[in-house]
Amino acid sequence: MTELAGGHGAQAPPAGRGAAFFDLDKTLMQGSSGFQFARVVRAAGLISRRQLARDAVANLRFRLRGVSDDESHALRIRIASSLAGVRVRDLERLGVHALKRILPRLYPQMLKLAYEHQDAGRPVYIVTAASQDMALVLARVMSFDGALGSTLSEVQDGVFTGRPAGDFLYGAAKAEAITRLALREGLDLEASFAYSDSASDAPMLRAVGHPVAVNPDAELERLAREAGWQIMRLDRLGLKLRLAGALAVAATASATTAAVLGRGGRLQTPTVGGR
DSSP E strands: which ranges in the chain? 3-4, 20-22, 124-131, 146-150, 155-156, 159-160, 193-196, 210-214, 230-232
C-alpha–C-alpha distance, residues 54 and 107, integer Å? 25
Cα R_g (the chain), whole angstroms: 23
Q: Which residues contact 96 (CB under 8 A, 6 or more apart)?
A: none
Query: Which residues are registered as beta bridge partners of 223?
Result: none
Q: Which residues contact 269 (CB under 8 A, 6 or more apart)?
A: none
Q: How many residues are listed for the chain in this entry?
A: 275
Query: Which residues are registered as beta bridge partners of 196?
Result: 213
Cα dihedral 78, 179, 23, 96 in deg (nearest 10): -70
Point out the residues that are catalytic.
23, 25
112 phi and psi angles, rounded to 5 deg: -60, -45
Distances (CA, A) of 216 to 1, 205, 208, 225: 14, 12, 17, 11
